[in-house]
Structure 1
Amino acid sequence: MPKTDTILSAKSLRYFLQLIDTMNYTQAAQILGITQPALTQQVKKLEHAIGAPLFGQMGKKLYLTEAGKEMESAAVELLNTINGVVSDIQEYTQADKGHISIGILNTLNTSIFYQFLHSFNKKYPDVTFTIDYFDRKELWRRLDTNLIDLAIMYLPDNTKKEETNLRHQYNHQNIRSDRLIILTHKNTVEAGKTYPVSRFLNRKWVAYPDDCYLTPLMKEYFGKKNELNIPVKIASTKEMIQLAEGTDYDTFITQSYYDSHSKEIEDSNLTPVYLQGEREFHISYVYRKGKLEIPRMQNLLKEWENFLAKHEDFSKLLEEVK
């Protein structure tokens, strides 16, 4: 074993740097809480390991030798590395420190989720967050490559082989159920009733872009033989409804958005109905298996569940963009 292995410890490096700060053995020893001979011994061991004097003396004043200057730079870098590693390990093993990266489906507006983060940050100020919005494919890519710790999205999602991937690679938990609701100008339907797809085959639609969740879902319900006629695609739910109101186009939104804006939609000329055969989907959070080994992730999800339990108005919990 090289002799430097037992000498270049974090303790000896701190002693060395403290002596540089004071250039006085007595003062440095007092600050470190050790005796002056103990400090002198550590410095001599360092010098012996390096093979060159680190300090010179002119009268009663110490000064750094050229070897000492080189060692100072190395000691600062080594201690920063050690401290960084220790900090990373502590962040990994502690519930109240570290960073969490969250990706959110870009057609969701998580206003109350931000309220939760605000309250969480007050309780755990040393846990920091990065939050970004992505389409479904990019969310999965970032989950796969560990660029985000947690995704909030709709499930099931046919962007990838979801059942296989969720079972083997991911954990998920449903936050709330949701479903698709059609807003139509047809005057032969009754609000809140369910009708077959055939009643809407010749309609024109204002819809979300194709990379949003509901448009591929609608196309799936209508089937390949009944291509949707979509003259306009808009990413904003509010603007979709406004355009539908001002034209003869129909549109489709989520039940959660309708529940949050039912009064204004009921005052419009659009009638809300459901499709036969449509299925529930869920607003869920998804994370790679193993993430719950990180205490801050465990803590985040536990606090999130506690927060949900206190908020019964789930219709406003995660509503789509207004």
Structure 2
Amino acid sequence: MKKHMKSNNDNALLVRSISYFVALAHNLSYTETAVQLGISQPALTQQIKRLEEIVGTPLFSLEGKKIHLTDSGEIFLRAAQKVNGVFAEANDEIKLIREHSHDVINIGVISAMPANVLVDFIVKFRKNHPSVDFNIKSILRHSLRFQLESDSTDILVLYLPDNSFAGLSKYRTNRISKSEMLLVSPFKINNGNKVTLDEIHDYNWVGYPKGYYMDQIITEQCHDSNIFVPRYSARFSQVENILTYGKKTKSIAAIPDTCLPFVKDGSYIYEFNPVIKFDVAIVYRTSKLKVPIINKCLNEFDLYLHQKDYLTRLKELVREDT
């Protein structure tokens, strides 16, 4: 009996170690991964070392202060992702055959995206489905794919394009709204309604934290145009703080047009030339459609946006809250 219990414990530890390995392989940072998983860094290091002992070869290499996957690590990552996919799909199948008296839908929203529309939809959805609870959490870009593969998130609300899900048939994408980047300035920059990055990159900037989708879009656009990345005097995760700081310090900010309802009177709004376009979308594993309550939620959300589009709803909801 003791031998059997030890075997079960070893199997559980192995599954946990594989999950930790996948998260670390995505982040390539022990510190970020430990925070994401809610464990200490020494505990994470111990789990990875234990996994490497089982596999019999190093899975990560250290170059300076940065870690990288070894060739063996790359091979193991592909296998681990398949294993996680099998577990996640099995979990979905179990949800189908299990008697539910209480359902929970886990939704991840990429950091800095306004959640007003989502909150409004959930309020309306629960009036018809009071037994369904929602768990809404803010997700950083580097952990998007891990959230779906580990089955800790059923549906992601995010900005696209994002290479995290490129070419993967097991994920389905539904566009919520077309969107573009806009420049908000407390002062007049020119007599038109458009600006170029070359024209404004020497100005004082305020923006989103490094690693956020909006920050990376501006960085990529600067690199593509052979322009130095702007210097930010401050970075905030909430658009309200970005706009307040910009107004008080005469700093400009690039924000998505989905955040335009938060801009106060007296600010100057400019489009970028060329236009910086992207989509607001939801992403989920195709197997989630087999779960009745999630399928119903997705269908009713489509109907909700068909009755009134995303940007119109957002403007109305922000106006109601102010």
User: In the TM superposition, what whole-angstrom CA distance separates every residue of 1:264-298 from its partner, at most 9, and x where no partner exists?
Assistant: 2xx32x42112112332111110012111112121
Per the alignment, residue 288 of structure 2 pairs with: 291
1:221 aligned onto 2:221:
yes
How many angstroms apart in 1 are the aligned matches of 2:217 and 2:292? 37
Q: Which amino acid aligns with 1:146?
A: D
Per the alignment, residue 235 of structure 2 pairs with: 233
Deviation at 1:123, TM superposition (A): 1.2
Q: Secondary structure at the match of 2:166?
A: helix
* TM-score normalised by length of structure 1: 0.62
Q: Which amino acid aligns with 1:307?
A: Y
Contact 2:177 2:310 in 1 (8 A): no
Structure possessing the higher radius of gyration over alpha carbons: 1
Per the alignment, residue 131 of structure 1 pairs with: 136
RMSD value, Cα: 2.8
Per the alignment, residue 39 of structure 1 pairs with: none
Deviation at 1:93, TM superposition (A): 7.4
How many angstroms apart in 2 are the aligned matches of 1:96 and 1:274? 50
Aligned ranges 1:261-276 → 2 under 5 Å: 261-262=262-263, 264=264, 267-268=265-266, 270-276=267-273
Q: Which amino acid aligns with 1:175?
A: I
How many angstroms apart in 2 are the aligned matches of 1:312 and 1:225? 36
Per the alignment, residue 112 of structure 1 pairs with: 117
Deviation at 1:313, TM superposition (A): 6.1
1:282 aligned onto 2:287:
no
* TM-score normalised by length of structure 2: 0.62
Per the alignment, residue 64 of structure 1 pairs with: none
Structure 1 unaligned residues grouped into runs of 5+: 1-87
Q: Which amino acid aligns with 1:212?
A: Y
Deviation at 1:91, TM superposition (A): 5.0
Q: Which amino acid aligns with 2:285?
A: R
Q: Which amino acid aligns with 1:182?
A: L
Contact 2:187 2:250 in 1 (8 A): no
Deviation at 1:186, TM superposition (A): 5.7
Per the alignment, residue 68 of structure 1 pairs with: none
How many angstroms apart in 2 are the aligned matches of 1:129 and 1:186? 42
Deviation at 1:311, TM superposition (A): 2.5
Structure 2 unaligned residues grouped into runs of 5+: 1-92
Per the alignment, residue 196 of structure 1 pairs with: 196
User: In the TM superposition, what whole-angstrom CA distance separates every residue of 1:22-76 from its partner, at most 9, and x where no partner exists?
Assistant: xxxxxxxxxxxxxxxxxxxxxxxxxxxxxxxxxxxxxxxxxxxxxxxxxxxxxxx
Q: CA 1:130/1:92 → structure 2, altered by over 3 Å: closer, same or farther? A: farther
How many angstroms apart in 2 are the aligned matches of 1:284 and 1:94? 31
How many angstroms apart in 2 are the aligned matches of 1:225 and 1:313? 34
